């Protein structure tokens, strides 16, 4: 499959001639480990392009090009950033674990009209390519299936404004309304599955750098499996306890309608940061999930064994992180003339 992808795009290499020249001259001595870096984009752009050739070239052809580089002269360990969207893409089935071969678990990955389905398909294709390269050539691979990557836990002003979490918090702060609960049924153990980017990056560097045997293929699910009852309702509680004025509405449908109207009434400069592009995902209350639906035993064991320096376990989400989000998002709103309800 790697060869097939490369033959179809041989006239349009995506890593550039300078990189390929470097690979011919120096790769055997200086390239230690490959970590693909993929383009990032906004929700609107991603939604418009999930089936486009651009996404295929960035996430699939780009991976195939880097596999070719990894196989040049000597094998170079390959660290691949995938997504939990691959693990949860089996219709009606359980989430994939960290041990199974994605080719057996998901021999076909349909691209339907669902949210960002093409993105999940492109990440699945990258995993398939790497499994083939591993089996055929012994390429050592570490795959990380990441869930929601949140802002840095310490650096002020460092956050991904267009992501789902930032958009939701920004909109709650800007409109001053939230539902009594984001969940249906008993929400006592509802949990938000996300990890700060500083921990995620540390895990990728530390665990991706542990090559072990030369022929190893490992998958880690970078999720937050803590059954701690810290969910969206908790975040709103923390915001109100910190002095932000947020009215809690008992009727979820009423909140949804008022939330949409309030966001549409925001000035354009703030409306583009709001949750409007992802509002359909909140049309109904969520099912509460204790911990994570993604199996992550290998990842948790590696962290607990000291595999990620400075961390004794996978961290939970806490008040200081939410307080930093609130400060940064309030500053973003104020800089463009929107006063949050504090």
User: Residue 35 has what pLDDT?
Assistant: 52
Q: pLDDT tens, 107-151?
A: 988 776 555 567 888 899 999 999 999 999 999 999 999 999 999
Torsion, Cα of 233, 200, 15, 214 (10° steps): -140
User: Residue 336 has what pLDDT?
Assistant: 55
Q: pLDDT tens, 13-56?
A: 544 443 443 334 344 433 334 555 444 444 344 434 445 556 67
User: Residue 116 has what pLDDT?
Assistant: 59
Q: How many alpha carbons lie under 13 Å from residue 115 in its C-beta half-sphere?
A: 11
User: Residue 36 has what pLDDT?
Assistant: 55
What's the distance, CA 184 to chain centroid? 25
Residue segments in the chain with a per-residue pLDDT below the cut of 50: 2-11, 14-33, 37-50, 338-339, 342
Could you tell me if 19 and 72 are in contact, meaning their C-beta atoms sit under 8 angstroms apart? no
Question: Could you give the CA distance from residue 43 to residue 48 in angstroms, rounded to a whole number?
Answer: 8
């Amino acid at each position: 499959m790697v060869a097939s992808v490369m033959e179809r795009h041989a006239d349009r290499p995506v890593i550039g001639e300078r990189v390929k020249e470097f690979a011919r001259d120096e790769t055997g001595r200086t390239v230690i480990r490959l970590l693909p870096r993929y383009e990032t984009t906004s929700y609107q752009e991603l939604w418009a392009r999930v089936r486009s050739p651009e996404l295929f070239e960035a996430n699939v052809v780009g991976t195939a090009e880097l596999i070719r580089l990894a196989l040049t002269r000597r094998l170079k360990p390959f660290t691949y950033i995938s997504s939990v969207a691959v693990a949860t893409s089996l219709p009606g089935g359980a989430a994939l674990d960290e041990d199974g071969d994605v080719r057996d678990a998901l021999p076909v990955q349909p691209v339907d009209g669902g949210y960002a389905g093409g993105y999940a398909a492109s990440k699945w294709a990258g995993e398939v390519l790497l499994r083939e390269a591993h089996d055929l050539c012994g390429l050592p691979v570490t795959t990380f299936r990441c869930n929601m990557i949140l802002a840095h836990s310490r650096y002020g002003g460092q956050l991904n404004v267009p992501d789902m979490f930032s958009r939701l918090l920004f909109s709650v702060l800007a409109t001053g309304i939230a539902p009594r609960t984001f969940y249906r049924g008993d929400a006592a153990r509802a949990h938000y599955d996300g990890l700060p980017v500083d921990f995620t990056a540390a895990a990728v560097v530390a665990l991706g750098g542990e090559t072990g045997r030369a022929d190893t293929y490992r998958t880690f699910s970078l999720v937050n499996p803590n059954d701690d009852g810290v969910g969206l309702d908790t975040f709103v509680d923390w915001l109100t306890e910190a002095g932000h004025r947020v009215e809690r509405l008992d009727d979820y449908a009423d909140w949804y309608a008022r939330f949409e109207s309030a966001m549409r009434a925001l000035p354009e400069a703030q409306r583009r940061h709001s949750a409007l592009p992802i509002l359909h995902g909140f049309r109904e209350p969520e099912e509460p999930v204790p911990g994570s639906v993604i199996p992550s035993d290998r990842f948790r064991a590696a962290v607990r064994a000291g595999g990620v320096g400075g961390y004794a376990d996978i961290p939970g989400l806490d008040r200081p992180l939410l307080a930093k989000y609130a400060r940064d998002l309030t500053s973003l709103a104020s800089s463009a003339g929107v006063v949050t309800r504090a």
